[in-house]
Structure 1
């Protein structure tokens, strides 16, 4: 499912992005990494769609988060505040810094159901939440790696563009990509060794951008300048494409013929904003996208199941969309 994405207006701390809570309703709360990211605005719209369809429910979906995805401490504070509110009946969190959010949950020792959304806690902290709802992030990264490897089966030089160094979902995607490229499970680095399948991640990479699109494009500009023989980028979140689409186009339009021939390869996450149009223009080899609207729409129902003590699968995956120049008109599953 997809809705028109509206950029969320930010504030420094917690924000109610919907109508005021009715006095007789309990909140099922969604806390995202930052309100400045169109990906999370799609989650917000899913939450609001659920509210519209369930106006008579005793629960209301409440969407919030820090103004910026770079504000890890702000997100942790919001989680703490939401867990202490008597109107909070359950909470779904997309952790920007997984260890920090785990520490916050542990300190709060909540009696209400806690789940994760979009990004999970690390494996050792998974017992702090009831379930994870969102993308199979390892599979997503693996598919990105497969697209790159299809074009460059003998390996080459690559740079991965990542978000937050402590975001579990991004780390899982990066692991999946490395495993697909190397043909080995759990490989720690693409270091040019035999185990790395002929792949070498160049100096200065991976680049951590804190989900900032302009920073991602600048990083890729710098990496290309320093490595004119670079063969590929693996972009673990679509920030450079949906957050800075025109600078991205300006950077890669001169490489369009090399991208078309497979001489240069770009595998990227997400299918948000201008991303599918960029794929149609042939400026990215493949996109492997998530379904954030579906996450926001499903999360309230899952939280209510948890409140009622009903069994919920762990994890609950929301699927992937895969877009290339050839299928850009039909690749998004509605």
Structure 2
């Protein structure tokens, strides 16, 4: 019997089958808000780049998330499943709904390192994660506001386009923009401060849906034909629905060129840089999602090994205008 078993094992190896004692790699899990968003696909590309460069590692970067960015409950369930998976060595999550994700972490009581990526938990819940890796979202929002203010120094009427009402990163950007526009800190809405007023119905929350974002902008312009500016806290209307965005904003190109109308927007994903080159946005302030996905596995390994890790770990910003589009993205 021993001889037969040995012959079977040798035959299996000769056919390329994995031996019974092969070990599955430990997973460094990245859970994002939704797989339908090009921003998160860039994070995945960084994750896979790390895998290709670390093929001999005992770890692998594993990227997952719900099918849609609007599925907050789905993200929470995936997070819970990954935290209970014995093969998960560490985990990075981009919270769509920060309170919900915080409660999921609390209920799971993980013994493995957990960090946030791209979006953070609230300050009150920050102790649930080891570090945050991604954009300084408040600074990003301030830069968006600075570009709008430079175009319209005397102020005007503005509408803020946001994503998920409970996403901490988006809320920080909106706050940074308002602070930059007004020179005041912490205003929840603008009612003439610094010359700026947010029109009725704004901010608009679009759940990261590009088509909804463009429709919201169209509705706001129809109701406010003298609107002076949009502050777009994520690139969804542009990279998610580029042609509808062109159709809507194209007639405003001359006003944008003369600084009679201003659009400051987050991200430099997909068609966004092309739209900037076409003069259909005043300025883009872009994140570096590929870098987030590429750095996250190494940060998670440092956390596993008990090495010191800074909190937060910022990945920087790119700034693009019509005049700088050829050189504005960090390579």
Normalization by structure 1: what TM-score?
Answer: 0.92
For structure 1, list consecutive stretches of 5 or more residues without a partner in the other structure.
1-21
Alignment of 1:2-151 (within 5 A): 23-151=23-151
Q: Tell me the matched-pair count.
A: 310
Task: Encode CA deviations 1:227-261: one digit per residue, 9 max, x unaligned.
Answer: 01100000000000000000000001111000000
Stretches of 4+ aligned residues off by more than 2 angstroms: none
Deviation, 1:65, is: 0.1
Deviation, 1:297, is: 0.1
Alignment of 1:166-315 (within 5 A): 166-192=166-192, 196-315=193-312
Larger-Rg structure: 2
Task: Encode CA deviations 1:288-316: one digit per residue, 9 max, x unaligned.
Answer: 00000000000000000000011000000
In the alignment, the residues of structure 1 paired with residue 45 and residue 327 of structure 2 have an alpha-carbon distance, to the nearest angstrom, of 22
Q: CA RMSD in A?
A: 0.7
Task: Encode CA deviations 1:80-131: one digit per residue, 9 max, x unaligned.
Answer: 0000000000000000000000000000010000000000000000000000
In the alignment, the residues of structure 2 paired with residue 255 and residue 111 of structure 1 have an alpha-carbon distance, to the nearest angstrom, of 54
In the alignment, the residues of structure 1 paired with residue 319 and residue 177 of structure 2 have an alpha-carbon distance, to the nearest angstrom, of 15
Deviation, 1:191, is: 1.4
In the alignment, the residues of structure 1 paired with residue 98 and residue 51 of structure 2 have an alpha-carbon distance, to the nearest angstrom, of 28
SS at match of 1:197: helix
In the alignment, the residues of structure 2 paired with residue 255 and residue 176 of structure 1 have an alpha-carbon distance, to the nearest angstrom, of 26
In the alignment, the residues of structure 1 paired with residue 173 and residue 24 of structure 2 have an alpha-carbon distance, to the nearest angstrom, of 41
For structure 2, list consecutive stretches of 5 or more residues without a partner in the other structure.
1-21
In the alignment, the residues of structure 2 paired with residue 174 and residue 23 of structure 1 have an alpha-carbon distance, to the nearest angstrom, of 47
In the alignment, the residues of structure 1 paired with residue 39 and residue 31 of structure 2 have an alpha-carbon distance, to the nearest angstrom, of 13
In the alignment, the residues of structure 2 paired with residue 23 and residue 263 of structure 1 have an alpha-carbon distance, to the nearest angstrom, of 63
SS at match of 1:55: coil
Deviation, 1:24, is: 2.9
SS at match of 2:187: coil
Deviation, 1:23, is: 3.8
Normalization by structure 2: what TM-score?
Answer: 0.93
Corresponding residue number in structure 1 for 2:325: 328
In the alignment, the residues of structure 2 paired with residue 191 and residue 74 of structure 1 have an alpha-carbon distance, to the nearest angstrom, of 37
